[in-house]
Structure 1
Amino acid sequence: MVIMFSLLARLRAIAFTILLLLSFSYARDESLFTSSVTYCNPPETLLVQQFDVAYIAKNQSVSFDIIAASVEANVNVTANLLLNVYGMDLVNITIDLCSILGGALCPLPQYNFNGSDSLTVPDSFSSHVPGIAFKIPDLEAFAQLTLTEVGTGDIKACVQATLSNGWSTHQRAVEWSVGIVALIALLLALWQSRSPHALGPYRLLDLMGLYQIIAASALWNLNYPSVYRSFALNFAWALTLFSSPTSQVQQAINNMRALTGGSLANSTSSSAVGFVNRKLSPFNSNTVVSSGGSSSLSSESFSGFSALSNLAKLPSQPLSDFRQFTASTGEVQTVTEASSNVLQAGLPIYVNSINIATANAFMTVFICTLILLAIFGFLVGLGYVGLYLMNRQQSFNRNLQLERSSFFSYVRAWSLRLGMIMFFPILIFAFYQWTLKDSWLSILFSVVAFLGVLCVVWYPIILVVRVIRRSGSSALYSDAEVVEWSAPLYWQYRTERYYFFAIMLAATFLRALFISAARSSGIVQLVLTLVVEIAIFVGLLVLKPHKTRGADVFSTYLAIIRVVCTGLMFAFVESFQVQAIPRVAIGIVIAVIFSITILVVIFNLVLHSGLDRFWKRDISSRSPSRQESADTMLEKGDRTFVHTQSDTASAYGRANNPTPDRNIPLDPSINKPYSPTTPTTFENGSSHDRDSASTNFGTVLPRRWSFTPLHTPTDSSVLDHTTLSHTNTVLSTTPEEHPAELERR
């Protein structure tokens, strides 16, 4: 029985392995297929409802599924087929339809047809397709079919279909992976943030900031290669852009905008690739419609197209109904240079690629932010109820009011962190919404969101400024009440560089402003952003704001990455007319640099997660690299919160520091220095009076004290000499006068 079960288990394992290998082999078949279909000229003769074509390299076959109709009688046309790959016209042929299929397509028959088939293409066609076209992700290629009337030269139909090979840098697995990393960083930060010196919360801000920088780098008015735009889409969620082709939220936003004066295009479930400006990737073409070709094919070279005669006719469907159905469904739309539905570079292409209309972008961010705030509020309420129940059931030495105060300080600090994370995306899309002038309700919500995020982030800054004016910058690190709610802003910086957080927030504000204010010029956006990044880099080198050298190196590395990647994107400026293949190569390089940077940030996050305690020496045995203070130790991850304020220790659940919070002045009469100018006569030949009220600390004593013999020592004299020894009393003598005494000493 056991043997039979074991045999069945092995058979199942073998069958599973075979099926898995078969699925992989099928998925890796070299093929090209249509990813979008649009009219490149208003249709007059040929109406297309569906046009799916796939080319399989292994058997050199073309499979197609087409639903179309010819609605004009007595039209003789020639067909021009154009295949453009990375801006190069690899195939540009003209087919005389009267010379194939025995003249069945001349004149063009007037009927609907719906059919699918697989045809074998000649070797002359396959030789034009390079092998790399099947392997490079986010292929930039399109096929164009143009029907031109014989004699007049009028274009009767023009259809464009973008091609894909199935590979893309935009992967759901990548989105989930980077999202899970952010979630783990969040949980770690929640645990470590019980103390303001923990690095976990700051590394969370660094990680989310990097994600947002990558996503925002695809929002400029540049001709991005498709491979980089797809890579940046993996981080769209960091800008709170959550959507799907069947999202009900987008439909609700469409309805809201329609009721409040919205007139721009709505979101759709179709691919946005077909609506991209034809001068941009993936089209890379300045000439959209071509009416001629460089070569022609005879009926012998395309004898395989005889299978077209087997297409099924559908006479039961009237032509008028077909025309109305095609126009209403909008499955194949007309996209020309003069069309209003053309997607321009930057933010419109980016958000439409994830099925969010340009006019819906801010409302998507706004709704997702409300959901995030609802989750945050629920967790805060749950935590408060748990704290209340714990204090009801157990007896604590600490006061309940103090526990509540610490909890609310914890909540205030995390509210500030949440505001700092949402600061960038809200500013970007609020500013951009103001430039659209679409829906008055969307504009109203954008103003509310803008003011709300300013209150969350800038109000603590105002309070910090007040504290500095009242007590100085040192109060930001010593006053427990101030530290509890404002530490996320400046605690990672040195005391004399506390203001560096304002520089970083100002840079974030300017980045968002440039995306919207200079959206008509990509080169202006790049130059202004590059100036900001270089300024941050120089500021880090000159000011060295962090408490440790390692933190300065880490922040400088991130600044260098931003400067380098921003500089490389000058190759995407449309007016520079960089060819498609170099642009793709540069886009891949930028994506690789950002990917490596993400791994570095993750490694740094793990390094400061507490795991380093297992192999690092006790932090107390290492001297600080810059600041000779307890704050340096705190920056390196030590959990001991040294404070000169006793209430700070209580707020974090530790015993009060017995160190007094101020220096105790000494009695001036006791600390009066000795004056050697006035000799003093002592009784019994003693050099020091036991009951004297004066002491000598660090003063120059008379020379006779160095050699005058003392009487029989008493307890007080021994104590006096011990005191002088421990306080480093300076004894004065000269080797010329007392060499024996100097040798003895």
Structure 2
Amino acid sequence: MLAISALASGVVCDNILSTIGFTNCGPNEAIQVQRVDIAYNHGNKTITFDVEGTSTKVQNVTAELRVTAYGNEIYANTFDPCHRSTFVSQLCPVPEGTFGARGVQEIPAEFADMVPNIAFQVPDIAAQATLKLNSKEDGGESVACIQSRVTNGKTTDLAVVSYVACGVAGLALIATGVSALGAVLSGGGAAAGGGTPSPSFTETVGWFQGMAMNGMLSVNYPPVYRSFTKNFAFSTGLLPWSQLQQGIDDFRGATGGDLTKDSFELLRKTTLVFPDESTSQSSEGFMGAKRALQDFSVLLARQIETSVGGEGGGSGGSDDLTKTVEGIQAYVEQLSVPQSNTFMTVLLIVAIVVAAIVVSILLVKVVLEFWALFGSFPQSLAGFREHYWGSIARAITSLILLLYGVWVLYCVFQFTHGDSWAAKTLAGVTLAIFTGILAFFTWKIWSTARKLKQAEGDPSGLYEKKEIWVKYSLFYDSYKKDYWWLFVPVILYMFAKGCIIAAGNGHGLVQASGQLIVEALLLGLLLWKKPFERRSGNIIHIVIQVVRVLSVACILVFVEQFGIRQTTQTITGVVLIAVQSALTGILAILIIWNAVEACCKTNPHRKRRKEMEKMQRDMDTLTPLDARNSLLLDRKDPELGPNGETTFSMASTVEKRQSIKARSATPDVYDKAAAATYNSYRHKNSTSNGSNGSYRALTTQGAPMYGHQRDQSRENLVSGAAPVGQDLERQPTLPNVGSGGWDSSYDNGGAGYSGYRQYRGF
């Protein structure tokens, strides 16, 4: 919605068509044009122009003007500058040396009415004018040719759109806590991004990255969509920064780079020509020559200032260059980033971000240390104060996971289009480090899950055990417990997408087809598993992925091999802008909604973990007479059988597991009673050898100690215990489970007692 508002802001302006530059479209012409600035004001039906050029000799010429819009020729005219009705003194004849003409002329109504109103409303109109000057003496040979793309001043490449997108991403960062700051404020209790609802910061930036990467394919984009995708370059680490580019050029020049073919200074003077023959200039605005005319009948003016022999201070010049670009090169060089500087630009931007994260976390650490000296800070920050290095590691790992797809793209592009051996080495090293870090965490999570499954029957400890959750949850925190592994195909998806776009650069059909397959596979996985913990998360991710698949399918319309008309391509581009802008607005609304909802609801994984921790703390405070005694947790509850008889069912598996875990942490009071009874009996038996055993002893001749009668309930063991004797100072006795003398194993290290403990579940 914000993007549409930004576009609508230009409607209130005057209806003006103008040229923003030109290119010389013919080789070795005798006439060279250095300046063509023409503007048509539809409100007062006037044309303002400023033309300068040079000629090697005096020539009589005819002029041929053609104007096309969206691939269709809408105007064509040939006129003689020396004819009385179309007289132009500076072209009748063309003088030798430098010449110029500037002025304002009114356009007759019959010509002004030929311009459709839509030309003043649609941003980035695909209109182009071509002017040729043909010699009268040499059989109509072309002596000059200039081309220009016409603009109405409205474009989808607006700084405000980038600012709004940055604001949405920043809002997601604050609302969801997917950052190092989020890890700091969580007090170490959760990893960065722990359990955030969708759309999170990572998902929002990933959406922006997808739109930017769509603009990098080697297809014939309409100007309106090409300009739109530039607004999201920031999400991939590309920023126009002239000082940074000059520094990278110096680095490349010292490490094998060829600055005569590709450099920032060279790019400033180069006009970019796209596959649809439209042209553009960099974001820095330093490009020279471009486009020509909106209507060269402007030169039949009477109110014209002319000059001969001037110095020609035009916007173009003989030093201006043109270069045909496509794909990744076209995308980055629109942002004043030479293609050979692309990887180093992103590397330095990411290095600055990492440095800012580290400094911010260390600054918080310093503040907490001073706080601790002069007062007491919140207990929730105590964990961060002790484990701040872990917070730094989590934040950097989150950044790697966020940028991995575009990092693969830029590294592969550097390998294939870079010219500096040092930059290629850095690309290989960083890609290996990033991949190694993700591979390490993948191995650790899988091995941890396998151990948990062997020990407990399922890997739910990844969510329930706090120490594991803190280390690894940033990879799987939004997934259900059964689908914790889904982060692996997501990483593979990012890797494949980056490789396809970079390795297929220059082959639009291969790029679009490969990307469509990858996007469709991920969509199928989401529809099949619906892996996210929250129902809203499943819906949002599926909708985003559906839009991605449809977007790539629409990009097939721009593939040159299919030969689809430019009008259809432009309509498709406008539809893509509308759909992607609408989804971006919906994501922004959902981010705000989730921020409000987060104040009222708790992450389900965190909530369950806290409940289990509370239950275990309660188990640690059990007493023999406590109603929560562990023996009662596994009681047989009476139920009515199918024939009316009374049956008993054991407590749930979850209750049993929780009971056993609690008893493993704190020795059961009955075990303490049994140990006390045994020690007391041994003491008395050693002082009176002739004792005939007023106490019945535990023996192997009685009931089996364990393993053979698991169907006997623990309540029977308790009810069968012998009464407490007075001479033992009311010490509890062992359960009466048999008859006979003492088992000799008690005198051999207490094996019988160990057997009793094994029966009890320890």
**Same fold by TM-score greater than 0.5:** yes
Alignment of 1:60-71 (within 5 A): 60-70=45-55
Alignment of 1:593-632 (within 5 A): 593-611=579-597, 613=599
- The one-letter code sitting in structure 1 at the alignment partner of 2:200 is R
Specify the alignment match of 1:78 in structure 2: 62
Shift, 1:164, TM fit: 0.7
Which of 1, 17, 21 is the matching residue for 1:32?
Answer: 17
Specify the alignment match of 1:382 in structure 2: 363
Structure 1 residue 460 corresponds to structure 2 residue 441: yes
Q: How far apart, in 2, do the equivalents of 1:204 and 1:384 lie? A: 24
Structure 1 residue 55 corresponds to structure 2 residue 55: no
Shift, 1:80, TM fit: 1.1
Q: How far apart, in 2, do the equivalents of 1:390 and 1:172 lie? A: 42
Q: How far apart, in 2, do the equivalents of 1:44 and 1:278 lie? A: 24
Q: How far apart, in 1, do the equivalents of 2:129 and 2:442 lie? A: 56
Q: How far apart, in 1, do the equivalents of 2:617 and 2:238 lie? A: 40
Specify the alignment match of 2:565 in structure 1: 579
- The one-letter code sitting in structure 1 at the alignment partner of 2:14 is D
Contact 2:49–2:298 under 8 Å retained in 1: no
Specify the alignment match of 1:518 in structure 2: 504
Alignment of 1:645-656 (within 5 A): none
Specify the alignment match of 2:238 in structure 1: 241
Specify the alignment match of 1:507 in structure 2: 493
Alignment of 1:166-565 (within 5 A): 166-188=153-175, 189=177, 190=179, 193=183, 194=186, 195-196=189-190, 197-199=194-196, 203-243=200-240, 247-263=242-258, 264-267=261-264, 274-277=271-274, 279-281=276-278, 304-308=300-304, 310-314=305-309, 317=311, 326-328=317-319, 330=320, 333=321, 335=322, 341-344=323-326, 346-394=327-375, 403-472=384-453, 473-565=459-551
Contact 1:77–1:149 under 8 Å retained in 2: yes
The SS at the match of 2:82 is helix
The SS at the match of 2:119 is helix
Percent of paired sites with the same residue: 23
Shift, 1:690, TM fit: 10
Which of 147, 165, 184 is the matching residue for 2:133?
Answer: 147
The 3 A distance-change label for structure 1 pair 382 and 648 is: farther
Contact 2:212–2:236 under 8 Å retained in 1: yes
Which of 73, 88, 93 is the matching residue for 2:72?
Answer: 88
The SS at the match of 1:116 is strand
The 3 A distance-change label for structure 1 pair 83 and 268 is: farther
Contact 2:149–2:278 under 8 Å retained in 1: no
Contact 1:492–1:635 under 8 Å retained in 2: no
The SS at the match of 1:97 is coil
Contact 2:384–2:391 under 8 Å retained in 1: no
- The one-letter code sitting in structure 2 at the alignment partner of 1:372 is V
The 3 A distance-change label for structure 1 pair 324 and 92 is: closer
The SS at the match of 1:144 is strand
Q: How far apart, in 2, do the equivalents of 1:376 and 1:424 lie? A: 21
The 3 A distance-change label for structure 1 pair 569 and 314 is: same
Shift, 1:669, TM fit: 6.8
- The one-letter code sitting in structure 1 at the alignment partner of 2:76 is N
Shift, 1:492, TM fit: 1.4
The SS at the match of 2:20 is strand
Shift, 1:253, TM fit: 2.3
Specify the alignment match of 1:662 in structure 2: 661
Question: Which stretch has the larger CA shift, 505-514 or 524-533?
Answer: 524-533
- The one-letter code sitting in structure 2 at the alignment partner of 1:417 is S
- TM-score by length of structure 2 reads 0.72
Q: Which runs of 5+ in 2 are unaligned?
A: 1-8, 281-294, 454-458, 619-629, 631-657, 671-703, 723-762
The 3 A distance-change label for structure 1 pair 260 and 693 is: same
The 3 A distance-change label for structure 1 pair 313 and 392 is: same
Shift, 1:56, TM fit: 0.9
Q: How far apart, in 2, do the equivalents of 1:36 and 1:503 lie? A: 48
The 3 A distance-change label for structure 1 pair 416 and 89 is: same
- The one-letter code sitting in structure 2 at the alignment partner of 1:343 is V
Q: How far apart, in 2, do the equivalents of 1:212 and 1:45 lie? A: 47
Shift, 1:34, TM fit: 0.9
Q: How far apart, in 2, do the equivalents of 1:532 and 1:25 lie? A: 38
Shift, 1:552, TM fit: 1.6
Q: How far apart, in 2, do the equivalents of 1:609 and 1:93 lie? A: 61
The SS at the match of 1:98 is coil
The SS at the match of 2:67 is strand
- The one-letter code sitting in structure 1 at the alignment partner of 2:576 is I
Specify the alignment match of 1:158 in structure 2: 145
The 3 A distance-change label for structure 1 pair 112 and 689 is: closer
- The one-letter code sitting in structure 2 at the alignment partner of 1:327 is S
Shift, 1:154, TM fit: 2.5
The 3 A distance-change label for structure 1 pair 199 and 674 is: closer
Q: How far apart, in 2, do the equivalents of 1:397 and 1:123 lie? A: 76
Q: How far apart, in 1, do the equivalents of 2:269 and 2:575 lie? A: 25
The 3 A distance-change label for structure 1 pair 272 and 249 is: same
Contact 1:121–1:304 under 8 Å retained in 2: no
- TM-score by length of structure 1 reads 0.73
Specify the alignment match of 2:635 in structure 1: none
Question: Which stretch has the larger CA shift, 231-240 or 148-157?
Answer: 148-157
Contact 2:81–2:300 under 8 Å retained in 1: no
The 3 A distance-change label for structure 1 pair 25 and 167 is: closer
Q: How far apart, in 2, do the equivalents of 1:663 and 1:324 lie? A: 81
- The one-letter code sitting in structure 2 at the alignment partner of 1:525 is Q
CA displacement, residues 244-266 of structure 1 (integer Å, 9 cap, x when unaligned): 5xx22222223333333333332
- The one-letter code sitting in structure 1 at the alignment partner of 2:318 is A
Q: How far apart, in 2, do the equivalents of 1:637 and 1:45 lie? A: 77
Q: How far apart, in 2, do the equivalents of 1:226 and 1:474 lie? A: 51
The SS at the match of 1:498 is helix
The SS at the match of 2:99 is strand
Contact 1:85–1:140 under 8 Å retained in 2: yes
The SS at the match of 1:311 is strand
The 3 A distance-change label for structure 1 pair 613 and 389 is: closer
Structure 1 residue 98 corresponds to structure 2 residue 82: yes
Shift, 1:426, TM fit: 1.7
Q: How far apart, in 1, do the equivalents of 2:37 and 2:218 lie? A: 31
Q: How far apart, in 1, do the equivalents of 2:391 and 2:659 lie? A: 27
Question: Which stretch has the larger CA shift, 446-455 or 590-599?
Answer: 446-455
The SS at the match of 1:499 is helix
Shift, 1:69, TM fit: 2.0
Specify the alignment match of 1:698 in structure 2: none
Shift, 1:213, TM fit: 0.5
The SS at the match of 2:610 is coil
The SS at the match of 2:318 is helix
Structure 1 residue 118 corresponds to structure 2 residue 104: yes
Q: How far apart, in 2, do the equivalents of 1:446 and 1:674 lie? A: 66
